[in-house]
Structures are given as C-alpha cells and as structure tokens.
Amino acid sequence: MANRKLSPEEINKAIGYIHQLREKYEGIGQDFILYLEGLVHSNGLNYWDYVKLDSLMGLQTPRTNFPDEMIFVVYHQITELYFKLIKQEIDLLTDLERGEYKELKNWYKRIGRCSNYWKHLCNSFDIMAHGMDISEFKHFRMALLPASGFQSVQFRHIEIMSSNLSSLLHKDNREDMDAPLEKLYQYMYWKSGGIDMDTNNKTLTLRQFEKKYDLELQGWIKDYRYRNLAYLYYRLAPELKNDEKLVHLLREYDQYINIFWRMSHQAASSRHLPIDDRGTGGTNWRKYLPPKFQRVIFFNTIWTDTEKEEWGKAGVMKFFRDRIQGTWMKDERYDGTDQ
C-alpha cells in the first residue's frame, strides 16, 4: 500500500492542501518547510492522549470509603460535560457575528441537539435513583457538605443563555424590570432554594456560591441580554417564528429543562431522602425542584395561558410518568406528586 502510485486527481488534491498549509503557517510567521519536516517525524495521535484518559481517570476523588460515592462523583461529572455540550450549541446559535440564528435549519440542528442531550440527562437519573445503595448515600452525603448540585454554575449559564432575565426571577418579582441588574439579580428564582427552612437565612451552600459566582453570573446576564435564545426567537420574522417544527422543538426544549429535568431530579431525591429532609448542602429541594412552584418558562409566547397555569401540575405529571418515569424509573414509591 505504501508504494501505490497516486492518481493525478490525488496529486492535484495533495498540492492544493500543501498550498493551503503554506498560506496558513506563513501567515503566522512559521517556516512551512520545517513544519512539513515535523509532520514526517511525528508519531501521530493516539486515543488515550486525545481524550486525556489518564487525567480523566484521576479526576474522581471520593471523600469517603463508601464505594457508591464513586457513582455519585462520576455521574455529576458526566452531567457537567453534557452541560458543556449544551452551552456550546447555544453559543454557536446565538453568536451574533456568525448569524446562525437567522436560518431555521440552524435552529433545528442546535435546539434538536440540546433537547437530545437533555433527554439523555433525564433518562440518566435512573443511575441516581436506583444505582446507589440508599444507606451508603445517607452516610457519604454528610461528608460532602456544604457542596450541592445546586452549585452547578453551568446550569445557571444555560438558563441565562436560554431566556430573558424576567423568566428567571422569582415568580413574585417579575414585574419590576426597571430596577438595576444588581437588585434584580437578588430575585433570581433559584436563590429561594438556598434558604434554610428553620432559620430563613441563607445556607452556607448559597453563600459560598454567591461569593464565587455572583459577579460572573451578572456578567453573563449582561452578555446574553440581547442574544439569548428567547430574545433572538422573538425577533425572528413571523414566517420563521411561527414555523411548526421550530415551535415544537422549542416547546420540547422548554419542557425537558424546566419540567422533566427537575422532576427527574426530584424523583431521585424522593427515593434517597426522608420526606422532611433537606437536600445535600441544606437546600430546600421540595420547594426548589417542583416546576409548579417556580414556573420557569423560557418561551412564554409558545404556551397557552392554560398550559402556563398548569405548568408542572397533574397533566404534565401524567406526561412525565408516561414518557420518562414509566420507561426507566420504576419505583412505585414515587408517583410524581409532592409528598
């Protein structure tokens, strides 16, 4: 195979690539011939180096000797990697210079990918609900305090990239949008999930998160104010905005992140935590996770008033049980209702 003669077409193609490489490396002040020589002596790339396998396998550092804590660590790391993929799709679609948002095909591709990632994330909660020993979880979770999945800044990034600020405020504070950002930010809906149920004070989990990320998240809000998914969707031409396939994809995306993901999380929490227990880090998960309490909706105009009123209630819960819980979360203890 090494001695096979190249066809004229292959030779022309190779010459074209050489010209492109020369332009590329001379354009950055590099010696093109030395670069080609380097390619000749290069050993190429192998799989374990490409995926950084050794580094990846060293990123799991359980805090206890309970074997199932490894499941807990790996699951959350995988979740964060999915979040990274979702952020990439949104960032590409909403990049104003790229201008992808102007064409329906790009909305189909990017939102379709995001929903597929969310679908896998929702299905994956079976690992959390049934893949860990309950008694082990009750022990090792105490060694993790005050850390909590509540502190996932990437999830907050995705929310900010997906919708206007008004949709992310506590439902009782969505009218006064003329207030400065610093004030509005204090009304972000998720902050209520970090309030201690007994003292009504901020938990250490929330205070740590605010100290590390408040300024960063306010910067994200400013950056995506005029390029989040909802903002760009509302400004599409009517024939694009009313496209049936696009509306279906956005409704699916809205449901997966704001209903099914939260209910999947709640279902897993209900299996492992007593009815009156706090979440890991002291979060008030029974008031924070159920979508009917927060009513976070990214694309308000594509839902009817009745659908918004019933957000996360009985009809949606039946859909959740039929479409998601019924296929993988076969625990009769949890029926999708508040306990």
- pLDDT, one tens digit per residue, over 167-212 is 999 988 888 888 999 999 999 999 988 888 778 899 999 999 999 9
Residue 21 lies in a domain: no
- Does the pLDDT value for residue 284 go beyond 80? no
CA pair distance 247, 189, nearest whole angstrom: 25
pLDDT at 208: 96
> At a CB cut-off of 8 Å and minimum separation 6, what does 191 contact?
170, 206
Q: What's the whole-number mean pLDDT along residues 253-261? A: 94
pLDDT at 86: 98
Residue 54 lies in a domain: no
Which residue range is the domain that position 293 belongs to? 71-328
CA pair distance 129, 272, nearest whole angstrom: 7
Q: Which of 238, 219, 224, 232 is nearest to 111 (CA)?
A: 232
pLDDT tens digits for 160-171? 999 999 999 998
- How many domains would you assign to the chain? 1
Distances (CA, A) of 201 to 120, 194, 215, 284, 287: 35, 9, 21, 12, 15
Percentage of the chain modeled with pLDDT above 90: 57
Reported in sequence order, the residue ranges of the chain that DSSP labels E, i.e. its strands, are none
pLDDT tens digits for 69-118? 999 999 999 999 999 999 999 999 999 999 999 999 999 999 999 999 99
Domain containing residue 182: CATH number: 1.20.58
Residue 19 lies in a domain: no
Residue 44 lies in a domain: no
Residue 153 lies in a domain: yes
pLDDT tens digits for 267-279? 887 777 765 555 5
pLDDT tier at 319, thresholds 50, 70, 90? low
Contact 312, 263 (CB under 8 A): yes
Half-sphere exposure of 22 (CA within 13 A, CB side): 7
Task: Quote the tokens at residue 150.
Answer: 């509540």
Contact 185, 166 (CB under 8 A): no
Residue 260: its H or E element:
none
Residue with tokens 């074997």: 67
Residue 52 lies in a domain: no
- Does the pLDDT value for residue 124 go beyond 80? yes
Grouping H, G, I as helix, E, B as strand and the rest as coil, residue 38 is helix
pLDDT at 308: 92
Residue 17 lies in a domain: no
Residue 118 lies in a domain: yes
Distances (CA, A) of 15 to 26, 30, 79: 16, 19, 44
Task: Quote the tokens at residue 50.
Answer: 């490409």
Amino acid at 214: D
Residue 246 DSSP symbol? H
- Does the pLDDT value for residue 330 go beyond 70? no
* Lowest mean pLDDT, pick from 35-39, 143-147, 299-303: 35-39
pTM across the whole model? 0.84
Task: Quote the tokens at residue 15.
Answer: 């010459």
Task: Quote the tokens at residue 65.
Answer: 């000797």
Distances (CA, A) of 251 to 195, 256, 260, 299, 307: 31, 9, 12, 8, 11
Neighbours of 137 (CB within 10 A): 20
> At a CB cut-off of 8 Å and minimum separation 6, what does 208 contact?
146, 151
